[in-house]
Every structure is written in structure tokens, then in C-alpha cells.
Amino acid sequence: MYQTYSNSKLYDIARDNYQKLTRYCVELDLEGYWDNPKVILNQSIQEVLDRYVQAILISLTIYNGHITEDEYSFIQTIPKNNLLLLTNNANVDDDTKKQAMKLVNSPPILLQLCGLRDSEKKLNTASSFFECLLNILLAMTYLNNNNDVFISAYVQEFYRKVSAFVQTDQSKIKKVDDNHRYYSVDFYDDQMLHSVEINDFQSVDKKDVSDQNEDFQQQSRKFKINVPRIEELKKEEEALRLEKENEDNDDKEQELKEQELKEQAIKEQIEEEKRKKNLEALLEELKSLTGLGNVKTEINSLINLLKVRKLRESYNMPIMDMSYHMVFTGNPGTGKTTVARLVAKIYKELGFLSEGTLIETDRAGLVAGFVGQTAIKVKEIVEKAIGGVLFIDEAYTLSSGIGTNDFGSEAIDTLVKLMEDHRDNLVVIVAGYKEEMQEFLKANTGLISRFNKFIEFEDYSTEELMEILTNSAAKNSMILSDEAYEKIKDNLSNMPEERKKTFGNARGIRNVFEKIVVNQANRIVTIESPSINEIERIELLDVMNLPSL
């Protein structure tokens, strides 16, 4: 006699096994096995599970030729989601039946993924997954103490369809006789683990089964209950676990290495995305600078060279040996230091420099007054700049005393050597007036070969200087009145050529703005309770008699 269970207990058994199926699906999803199917099917793994569970339960009722109200309710409620849209009329329509049979007859994708996981990780997930499905089928069959004679044949047919994907643990199967096998399943009843004896998993025709005599039904299709001791099972399970643990030590180490590599790849991907965003911001900052049209063109060309260099490296292609040191020529205040600072940061985001810092120096920072000390000073300043840009302003002064008792030549010689030693992680930018810089490069043949990129910074036009002034005002929540704007513009346009040489371009206009702010403050304090409009507005009186103009 088979053991009877209450409907409530059978529901509990089915739900426990459904929860196991859900956990297996969560593991498949988290470990990436569902990534490709998700793209193709456009469904979550939980949705596929729920459809599949409902489909095999419906197919069992089709096989039996009838469905009871209890079975209908069981099919509706055991899965988390009623995705086959069963209604409450205890009847499965033809379209739903067709959909269910289509799912059952399709390749069992979840069992396939379990099998793939088993082969990669030496597990037994597919077999356990099938056992859970079988337990849910048995639970529905046992409702109201029913013992459907067709369940054995259905299970045989179902197993035949999915057997290629179930790596059954042979320790759980034993031959009873020529026509029977004993198959252990996790069919829980508190302290008991039950088993089921079914036919030899051959395809059985439903009509043939119904025509068999009662004796055959009782002996080859009924479910027999086996009640092994839990403690013995626990010991066997622990022994198997320890054996597997010993066998899998190497695999675990490999998995850890693979996980570390995966985490490193993710980290590098995050860093790459961060570099891209930083580079975009820096290029936008370069673009936003007032004027400097030819400068921006030259810098962008250098950036493109580095991008292509990086691409060639990724394909293991030859890379042409190039010098990235530069000469910036132009009058003071034309943006040379500002651009040099941006170049340092841009080169870092492109992976050419490791730090992206800018170290500024001049003759005083490189040349000492005693023999041997100059080389030490140069070495110290270069070491600070490694990983970034060393910016030497008025570099021509290093060669102005060559031929006398000056140590400028020692500074140049030392610099040339250190530039070669650190060529892969250091960029040197020398700056100064155009003609003087030409003479500077002639002072040492090593300079000419290393500095072959010249970028000229032209003086700002009157319109560009006014743009710089209005931008400075806007950053400080100040507005130039039309009269004040025109007065300053007129003074700049009519400035004598000799005065322009000492005005200082952007540096000069910033000095003008600072003086305007002082004049405006002196005027505002004379107003009783000034409004916001009065505080932010620069009037004509504030720009009169500016000494720098």
C-alpha cells in the first residue's frame, strides 16, 4: 500500500520543491548562465521556470484525460506566477493546452543550463532539478489520496524526453529486475525521505498502459514508499561531501583565480569608463578657452596621435618612436601655463603619463651658484615631475650666459640626459618668446632632437580680451553696463603698441578686472541699502582712469 498524505501536506511538499527549483534558477542567473538566453527569450529565468512547471502539470492532466478542481487549483497556485493565465473555471482551454505541450516538447532549457553548470563545476544540479519536478508531479497525483495508474507511464515518457540533460547519480539507482529500477527522490515528510519505483524509463503508450491487468498496474506502476534512516543518509551525504571537497581543491583554486581575473577585468572596465569621462571633460575645458584656435588644433592632433598609439599597442602593432616634448612660444599671459596644465591631465587619461601633474619652474629653480649643485637641483625637480609635465618658463635664460662662468649649460646638459632616461613617463614643455627660444634650442644639439613640436600662442585680440573680462565678471555674479563695456573696449583698441607689449594679455585683463572690483566696492559702500542689481552691476564710473589701461 502506498502511504497517504493530506492535501495540505502535499501542497507543502510541492512548495518546498518549487522553492528548491527557484534557488537553482537564482544560482544559474547569478553565475551568468542566463545572460544569453535572457537576451534571446526576453524573459526572466523565474518566468521561464513558472511556465515550465505549469506546462508539465497541465501535460500530465492531458495524459490522464481529465483534470479535477483540486488539480486545477494546484497548477494555479504552486508556481509564483500564473503565466499560462489559468482562470477560475477549473477548465484548461485548447490554446493553453497547445501552449503547454509546446513548452513540454521543446528542449528543456533550464535542465540544459543545469547540465552545463554540472559539467563545468562537477555538480549534480540537473538530477536534483529533475527530482524536484518529479516530486511536484507526484504531489499533484496524490491529491485526495488518489493513485493514478498513468503517473508511472507519464514519468517514464517525461524522463525519456529530458534524460539527455539529467546526469543521474548512479549511486541513487539500482536494478530491481529486468523491468524495474529504484530511483531516489527528495519527497519529504518531516523525518522521512521517500523513494519511488518506476518502470525502466522506456516510452509507454497510454492506451497500452490502460489495457494492462491490475497485477501489472500494482507491481510496475504503483509508487512504493521506502523509509531509510535519516542519520544514515546524513552520514552518507557527509562522506560524499568530504570526498568531493578533497577532489575539488584544485578546481576551487582555479575558480578563485578566475574570479580574481574577472574582478580585475571589471575594475579595469570601471577605470576605463572613468578615464573616458574625465578625458571628455578636459577636452571640453580646452575647447571652452577663449581664442587659441591654432593651439587647440595642435593639441588635438597630439591627442589623436596618442589615441592611435594606444590602438596599435592593443593590436601588438609596431609603434613609431616619437618625442612628445614641446616648445610653447608667445608673449606673457597668452595661456601657455593653462594649456600645459590641461595637457598633463589629458595625457594621464590617455594612459601616456601616470600622474598627470604639472611642475612649474624657471632658471632660478634649476641653476645653482656653485659647481656641482646645478645638476642636483635639476635632478630633484625632474624627479618631482616624473609621471607628469615639467613646465620651464622663460627657458631661454638657461642659455643666455653660456660662454661665461654661468651654470646654465650644466642645467641643460643634465636636463637632456634625464629627459632621455624618463622618456616614457615625462613630458617637458619649455616656454618663452619665439626668437629667444630658437636661440635656446641651438645651445645643445640634444635639445633640437627632443623638442620638435612648436606651438605658438598669439596675443589675444581686443574682442577675446573683452570675452575674458565678461566671463570673469559672470563668474563673480557681476555684469558690465553697456557704457562700461564700451569704455574698456575703446581703451584696449587704442592702446599704444609699446604698452601692449607690457600689458600681459589675459593676465593684464585679469588685473584690470580686479581694479574694477575695487572701484565698484568703493562706490557701493556710499549707497544706503544697495539692491542686488546695484551690487552686481559695474557702471561707467567704475572703469574710469584705470592705470593699466
Residue type, 193: L
User: Which pLDDT band holds residue 400 (cuts at 50, 70, 90)?
Assistant: confident
Q: How far apart are CA 177 and CA 37, in angstroms?
A: 42
Per-residue cell: 214 = 491490475
Per-residue confidence (pLDDT) for residue 89, from 0 to 100: 66
Q: How far apart are CA 141 and CA 152, in angstroms?
A: 11
Query: pLDDT per residue over 494-547, tens digit each?
Result: 999 888 888 999 999 999 999 999 999 999 999 999 999 999 999 999 999 887
| Ranges of each domain in the chain | 7-229, 289-457, 462-543
Q: DSSP character for 170?
A: G
CB atoms within 10 A of CB 136: 26
Give the domain 462-543 fold. Answer: Helicase, Ruva Protein; domain 3 (1.10.8)
Domain 289-457 has CATH 3.40.50.300: yes
CA distances in angstroms from 176 to 127, 128, 166, 294, listed in the order given: 20, 22, 21, 90
Contacts of 330 (CB under 8 A, 6+ apart): 336, 431, 433, 434, 456, 457, 458, 459
The segment with the largest mean pLDDT, out of 219-233, 242-256, 504-518, is 504-518
Residue with cell 590617455: 350
pLDDT at 481 over 90: yes
The count of C-alpha atoms lying within 13 angstroms of the C-alpha of 123, restricted to the half-sphere facing its C-beta, is: 16
* Mean pLDDT calculated for residue range 59-73: 87
User: Which pLDDT band holds residue 90 (cuts at 50, 70, 90)?
Assistant: low
Contact 45, 25 (CB under 8 A): yes
Provide the β-strand partners of residue 392.
361, 430
Q: What is the DSSP string of 343-408?
A: HHHHHHHTTS-SS--EEEE-HHHH--SSTTHHHHHHHHHHHHHTTSEEEEETGGGGSTTBTBB-SH
Q: What is the 3-state secondary structure (H, E, C) of 148-164?
A: CCCHHHHHHHHHHHHHH
Per-residue confidence (pLDDT) for residue 193, from 0 to 100: 30
The whole-chain average pLDDT of the chain stands at 83
* Mean pLDDT calculated for residue range 137-154: 77
CB atoms within 10 A of CB 311: 10
Helix/strand/coil for 325: coil
Q: pLDDT > 70: what percent of the chain?
A: 82
